[in-house]
Amino acid sequence: MSFQNEFLTLHGEIKKLSKLDQHNFNAESKFSNLKEQVLNVLKALFGETSREYRVVRLTNSPATITKVMNHIANRTSQNIAVNS
Protein backbone atom coordinates (compact mmCIF):
# COMPACT_ATOMS: atom_id res chain seq x y z
CA MET A 1 0.00 0.00 0.00
CA SER A 2 2.89 2.38 0.66
CA PHE A 3 4.06 2.09 -2.95
CA GLN A 4 0.61 3.20 -4.11
CA ASN A 5 0.74 6.25 -1.85
CA GLU A 6 4.27 7.03 -3.01
CA PHE A 7 3.11 6.60 -6.61
CA LEU A 8 0.32 9.13 -6.12
CA THR A 9 2.68 11.63 -4.49
CA LEU A 10 5.23 11.29 -7.29
CA HIS A 11 2.47 11.55 -9.88
CA GLY A 12 1.50 14.96 -8.48
CA GLU A 13 5.12 16.12 -8.36
CA ILE A 14 5.76 15.10 -11.98
CA LYS A 15 2.61 16.94 -13.09
CA LYS A 16 3.83 20.11 -11.36
CA LEU A 17 7.28 19.72 -12.84
CA SER A 18 5.97 19.24 -16.37
CA LYS A 19 4.40 22.70 -16.16
CA LEU A 20 7.73 24.39 -15.30
CA ASP A 21 10.18 25.82 -17.80
CA GLN A 22 12.19 22.84 -19.05
CA HIS A 23 15.39 24.90 -19.37
CA ASN A 24 15.40 25.79 -15.70
CA PHE A 25 18.40 24.07 -14.03
CA ASN A 26 16.53 23.52 -10.76
CA ALA A 27 13.68 21.89 -12.65
CA GLU A 28 16.14 19.62 -14.47
CA SER A 29 17.76 18.60 -11.20
CA LYS A 30 14.38 17.96 -9.58
CA PHE A 31 13.29 15.98 -12.64
CA SER A 32 16.31 13.68 -12.33
CA ASN A 33 15.55 13.02 -8.68
CA LEU A 34 11.84 12.42 -9.32
CA LYS A 35 12.62 10.15 -12.26
CA GLU A 36 14.80 7.97 -10.02
CA GLN A 37 12.05 7.80 -7.40
CA VAL A 38 9.46 6.91 -10.05
CA LEU A 39 11.76 4.20 -11.38
CA ASN A 40 12.17 2.75 -7.89
CA VAL A 41 8.39 2.60 -7.41
CA LEU A 42 7.77 1.14 -10.88
CA LYS A 43 10.49 -1.46 -10.29
CA ALA A 44 8.85 -2.50 -7.03
CA LEU A 45 5.34 -2.59 -8.52
CA PHE A 46 5.97 -4.04 -11.99
CA GLY A 47 9.64 -5.08 -12.27
CA GLU A 48 12.45 -3.91 -14.52
CA THR A 49 11.12 -5.76 -17.55
CA SER A 50 7.76 -3.97 -17.57
CA ARG A 51 6.93 -1.63 -20.41
CA GLU A 52 6.19 1.19 -17.95
CA TYR A 53 9.61 0.90 -16.30
CA ARG A 54 11.47 0.78 -19.62
CA VAL A 55 9.64 3.81 -21.07
CA VAL A 56 10.36 5.93 -18.00
CA ARG A 57 13.99 4.78 -17.89
CA LEU A 58 14.57 5.80 -21.51
CA THR A 59 12.80 9.17 -21.51
CA ASN A 60 13.99 12.63 -20.55
CA SER A 61 10.54 14.17 -20.78
CA PRO A 62 8.33 14.95 -17.78
CA ALA A 63 5.35 14.82 -20.15
CA THR A 64 6.10 11.21 -21.10
CA ILE A 65 6.45 10.19 -17.47
CA THR A 66 3.16 11.95 -16.73
CA LYS A 67 1.47 9.98 -19.52
CA VAL A 68 2.85 6.68 -18.20
CA MET A 69 1.72 7.50 -14.67
CA ASN A 70 -1.73 8.62 -15.89
CA HIS A 71 -2.04 5.33 -17.76
CA ILE A 72 -1.17 3.35 -14.63
CA ALA A 73 -3.54 5.42 -12.46
CA ASN A 74 -6.41 4.95 -14.93
CA ARG A 75 -5.76 1.24 -15.26
CA THR A 76 -5.62 0.86 -11.47
CA SER A 77 -8.88 2.73 -10.92
CA GLN A 78 -10.59 0.59 -13.59
CA ASN A 79 -9.35 -2.59 -11.89
CA ILE A 80 -10.69 -1.38 -8.55
CA ALA A 81 -14.07 -0.59 -10.11
CA VAL A 82 -14.27 -4.02 -11.77
CA ASN A 83 -13.29 -5.83 -8.58
CA SER A 84 -15.80 -3.93 -6.42
Of the two residues 1 and 29, the one the predictor is more confident about is: 29
Distance separating alpha carbons of residues 57 and 26, to the nearest angstrom: 20
Query: What does pTM read for this prediction?
Result: 0.71
Question: Mean pLDDT score of the chain, rounded to an integer?
Answer: 79
pLDDT over 80 (residue 73): yes
Distances in whole angstroms, Cα of residue 23 to Cα of each of 18, 20, 31: 11, 9, 11
Confidence of residue 50 (pLDDT cuts 50, 70, 90): very high
Amino acid at 48: E
